Structure 1
Amino acid sequence: MKHPPRPAAPNRSAPGAPVRAAAAHVIQAVMQHGRSLDDALAFATSRNRFDARDHALLSAMVYGVLRHYRRLGWQLEQMMDRPLRDAPLVDALLRVGLYQMHDMRTPDHAVVSATTSAASLLQAEWAGSLVNALLRRSQREPERLEPPEDPAIRHSWPNWLADALRHDWGEAADAILAEGSAQAPMTLRVNRRRMSADDYRARLSRMGREARTLPEAPEALVLEQAGEVDALPGFARGSVSVQDASAQLAAPLLDVQPGQRVLDACSAPGGKAAHLLERCPKAQLTALDSDRARLQRVDETLRRVGVQATLVAADATDTARWWDGAPFDRILIDAPCSGTGVIRRHPDIKWLRRVGDVRALAKTQQQLLETLWPLLAPGGRMVFATCSILRAEGRDVVAHFLERHPEAESPSCDLPVGAADGAGWRIAPGGDWDGFYYAVLSRPR
């Protein structure tokens, strides 16, 4: 006689356990498999039907754990009699638990119950008692969690990168290390073709959302509390975009005039291109990117804000494939870089970057400058930018270029924030500003 199939056992996990288990998977994907945080988080979201509240919790946990990954690991070691080996998912789950309890201030009972239960969802039932015991011990003995004075451990940076910052920034490095573990503000760029920043701030205020202007960036608004991008009034119609204040300094530096030919050589995702066309819609802009899929994002961005450009999918250094021979009055090289200036927004950068990456990226930056310099018209202006805070990707690249091209002029950037660094200008990350490097190069008439 054939028996009917046995019904599946009911899911007896504690409330909140699935989102903790998902967080452990995301962290393992980044730290063990080298996936970007954005990709790992998107994959986890697609695999789980979380509501808006759990989705927000998942994001908060994974961003927080990766911001403080090294310090949390050190704290785990203080709580354990023997190191945990060959169980990366359980290790990630333990860091999630510690972060919830001691950084997010989640009620202790909720953390212990949900995190312990999550172990079984990771097929690690053996670890439930370990998770329970360790989290309860951290409650009883919080003094064990006080991290050492070493800023690289306290603020969670790999040693090689902390050492590089100390070399480049001297006494300011410790503050930069601390800022790298902080949460960045949500900064908007108001489309000046639609309204002023003050007008948009008043519109937000009427909705109960507060923001403040930045005198140094006239189109910028810093939200007092971050929120969903799609919920911003007028976002879909292009009245406002999300863009860090430091990135908003590129368009004023280019100083584009109506009718000028402009090249945005590494355009994706298109924020700087949109900004300069919002300021000067009659510019003839060519937006170039080697990745066709990323160039599609540029197209979507420009359409949303209501501006037009010529989009070209090509390697900027392969000029024979895309350049029509007519010089450009303005060239923006928003060069590929390590992203060390935006680590507070992308904490996975700290753990995915390697020393060799910086050398390779600096070589690419040199190649872009060398290849695109002949395309600049006499009297034209080129802006070189990176969101890196390493001199190897800023001052050193520009200095090497100027040694090879004595005909090039390098007028002072004289930006309203940051300080001169060689022939360019660097901005330290922190407060309202991401870390950036800018240099202006011009060709004599």
Structure 2
Amino acid sequence: MQTQLADFVRDTPEGREADTILRKCVHCGFCTATCPTYQLLGDELDGPRGRIYLIKQLLEGQAVTEKTRLHLDRCLTCRSCETTCPSGVQYHRLLDIGRGIVEAQVPRPARQQLLYRALRTVLPNRGLFETALKVARLAKPLLPEALAEKVHDVAPARPRPAARHTRQVVLLEGCVQPGLAPNINAAAARVLDRVGISIVRQGEKKAGCCGALRYHLNDQDGGLDDMRANIDAWWPAVEAGAEAILVTASACSAQVKEYGHLLRHDPAYGPRAARISALARDVAEVVAGEELAIGRALAKAKAAAPVPAKVAFHSPCTLQHGQQIRGVVERLLAAAGYTLSPVADGHLCCGSAGTYSLTQPELSKQLRSNKLAALEAGNPGVIVTANIGCLTHLAAGTATPVKHWIELLDEALDEAAG
């Protein structure tokens, strides 16, 4: 693709990166076949190729309109198109650059501004979010439907084991996950403890939101500040020899793996950000990496039935497309004795996509309906996933229990241990 970037962006880091990405695109259109919004809407501008043209136009200095913003807002950033693309176009980076420019040039209506500001303020702040969640549970009948369906009662987390092993990792606790599903991180700690890995406590500085929420809500500077705060919080443990930054939400692990790239021009944080990204591991990678130890434990678990007859696994976009991790969770669940039911169109997004279910509720519900139809076609006893956003979004649309896959593995290992 030939480009003629405008003066305002040509010689900036973002402009140079966008130019490189644009020049890789060969207009083949393979991406449209796997784009969820193109499948729903049938509009070229609601597919990756059309959005690339829109971003190219704005980078070349053409007028940016509300219509441009609408089509970019509708993108889920699921990155299915990147998996499909034969040319290796890093579409999600181009989208971030384009959205940042549009946000600066086309002010949103007051109602949208209020929504975005509330999401950027409340969700990344764990204390504020958990307080708001308590209030929301009390006021659930009065909330808008799109918000009320996400407010669930939560079971308390089972105890975590004390740190007792030489091998140690640092855990990203997250911002919304501890309030919505506190047992996920506890289950991960118990599973890792069984294979000789402990989660170490951080010092006075605590890691918070991974940065994805604010960054993808077009507060890119705020998202980068969240990333810097996490690096500061983790760095003492990294220097002390922690072997990994462990993340149980696939959206967050995908984001932490990009710290090095996003902060590469920051002289104070660039080298440390690269180190953090190199250490970042999704919990699926860490558990699967302990093949011998976990294999023996899972073999015992498999022999210690009963386990649910069928499990349907929803692979989040951030796991299969963002991190290119496929088949790992399924293999671990099968090794523990769970029977996996087939899921049609497993590559498609469920419609959660961070805050998408709140900013684009109608499209999000359509995608969820399609995904649940595929997941429930095999009559599973439980649906499992690898990301807190997908978990809460899917759970709001079905009576079938929805859990994180690490919780099922933890339950199976408990059965084996008696």
When the two structures are superposed, what TM-score results if normalisation uses the length of structure 2?
Answer: 0.33
Return the structure number with greater helix share: 2
Return the structure number with greater strand share: 1
Which protein, 1 or 2, shows the higher relative CO under an 8 Å CA cutoff with sep ≥ 6? Answer: 2
Name which one, 1 or 2, has greater alpha-carbon Rg.
Answer: 1
